[in-house]
């Protein structure tokens, strides 16, 4: 967690993507600080099953696991002294952030989602994704983290991370290869998109300000964000040129500019 003396920003609580780490946010954090306009507190914990964060035992996959993970995140925020932070989530972390914001909107000043989805509404498609996640989790344990990471980084949605600048890209890949495959497998089984309760029908009730960020080259999640923006009462959708799915790290300066503009709008509404 980083701290400085900025008082015009709310604290930021950032949730990373699958197989990632809180340290993955360093390019964005540095881009914000480089202009002297970043948050006073930027907290980015490792999510359950990642890094040193343990899995959550004895919880059922899906809603129960999302609630338990959300409770863990809220407890971490409270211990860190984060009062009504701006909640930022990327991909898997974005799904968790959206679920948490819908559960406890009063705990957050605003929500920023990067390449995130409210889940899969169609039951057959959701079941197919659950099967895919289950197979990927089994392969993780059977083949080991090195083989998984090599395959994962060739996935079309992940391959655009090649444009993340050094030294961050190499550090991010090295951290991925230090993950415990059993923890990642648990995360897929308990918190994957296939078992996530779809949240589309609840978006209209989320009244806190929301910024949706997607990469211009991430057609799937840009389309999802456009649909979400039509349903959320206070949402803005920003598309970052020259970026794929991991838009905030592939184009951190542009993401930082979008965040500054969003926070400026929040301050003008106070």
Report pLDDT for 38.
Answer: 81
Q: How many CB atoms lie within 10 A of CB 76?
A: 16
Side-chain-side CA neighbours of 99 within 13 Å: the count stands at 29
Give 36's pLDDT tier (boundaries 50, 70, 90). low
The count of structural domains within the chain is 1
Report pLDDT for 7.
Answer: 53
Contact 10, 43 (CB under 8 A): no
Q: What is the secondary structure of 114-128 as a DSSP string?
A: ES------SHHHHHH
What element of type H or E holds 238?
Answer: strand 235-240
3-state secondary structure of 99: helix
Report pLDDT for 267.
Answer: 87
Please check the confidence at residue 199 and state whether its pLDDT lies above 90: yes
Residues 247, 218: Cα–Cα separation, whole Å: 9
Please check the confidence at residue 109 and state whether its pLDDT lies above 90: yes
Report pLDDT for 34.
Answer: 79
Within 8 A by CB and 6+ apart from 221, the residues are 115, 116, 117, 214, 215, 245
Helices of type H across 43-164: 63-79, 92-103, 123-143, 145-152, 156-159
Report pLDDT for 269.
Answer: 73
Give 8's pLDDT tier (boundaries 50, 70, 90). confident
Give 195's pLDDT tier (boundaries 50, 70, 90). very high
Strand 210-215 and strand 235-240: the pairing is parallel
Handedness of CA 83, 198, 16, 69 (dihedral sign): positive
Place of tokens 């009063």: 106
- CATH code at position 241: 3.40.50.1820
Range of the domain at 65: 2-269
Please check the confidence at residue 2 and state whether its pLDDT lies above 80: no
Q: What is the pLDDT of residues 202-252, one digit of tens each?
A: 999 999 999 999 999 999 999 999 999 999 999 999 999 999 999 999 999
- Which 8-state DSSP code applies to residue 9? S
pTM (whole model) above 0.85: yes
Residues 140, 124: Cα–Cα separation, whole Å: 24
Report pLDDT for 1.
Answer: 52
Q: What is the secondary structure of 145-181 as a DSSP string?
A: HHHHHHHHTTSHHHHGGGGSPTTHHHHHHHHHTTS-H
Please provide the average confidence, as pLDDT, over all residues in the chain.
95
Share of the chain above pLDDT 90, in %: 92
| Mean pLDDT across 144-171 | 96
Please check the confidence at residue 64 and state whether its pLDDT lies above 80: yes
Please check the confidence at residue 4 and state whether its pLDDT lies above 50: no
Report pLDDT for 238.
Answer: 98
């Amino acid at each position: 967690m980083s701290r400085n003396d900025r008082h015009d920003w709310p604290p930021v609580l950032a949730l990373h993507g699958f197989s990632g780490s809180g340290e993955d946010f360093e390019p964005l954090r540095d881009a914000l600080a480089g202009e002297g306009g970043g948050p006073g507190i930027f907290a980015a914990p490792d999510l359950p099953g990642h890094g040193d964060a343990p899995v959550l035992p004895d919880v059922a996959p899906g809603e129960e696991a999302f609630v338990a993970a959300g409770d863990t995140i809220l407890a971490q925020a409270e211990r860190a002294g984060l009062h009504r932070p701006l909640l930022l989530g990327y991909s898997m972390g974005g799904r968790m952030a959206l679920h948490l914001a819908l559960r406890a909107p009063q705990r957050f000043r605003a929500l920023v989602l990067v390449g995130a989805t409210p889940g899969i509404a169609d039951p057959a498609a959701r079941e197919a994704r659950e099967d895919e996640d289950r197979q990927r989790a089994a392969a993780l344990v059977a083949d080991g983290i090195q083989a998984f990471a090599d395959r994962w980084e060739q996935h079309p949605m992940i391959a655009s991370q090649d444009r993340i600048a050094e030294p961050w890209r190499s550090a991010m890949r090295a951290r991925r290869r230090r993950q415990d495959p059993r923890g990642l497998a648990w995360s897929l089984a308990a918190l994957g998109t296939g078992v996530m309760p779809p949240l589309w029908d609840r978006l209209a009730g989320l009244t806190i300000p929301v910024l949706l960020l997607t990469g211009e080259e991430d057609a799937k999640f840009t389309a999802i964000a456009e649909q979400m923006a039509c349903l959320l009462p206070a949402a803005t959708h920003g598309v970052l040129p020259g970026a794929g799915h991991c838009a905030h790290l592939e184009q951190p300066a542009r993401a930082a500019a979008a965040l500054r503009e969003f926070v400026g709008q929040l301050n003008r509404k106070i």
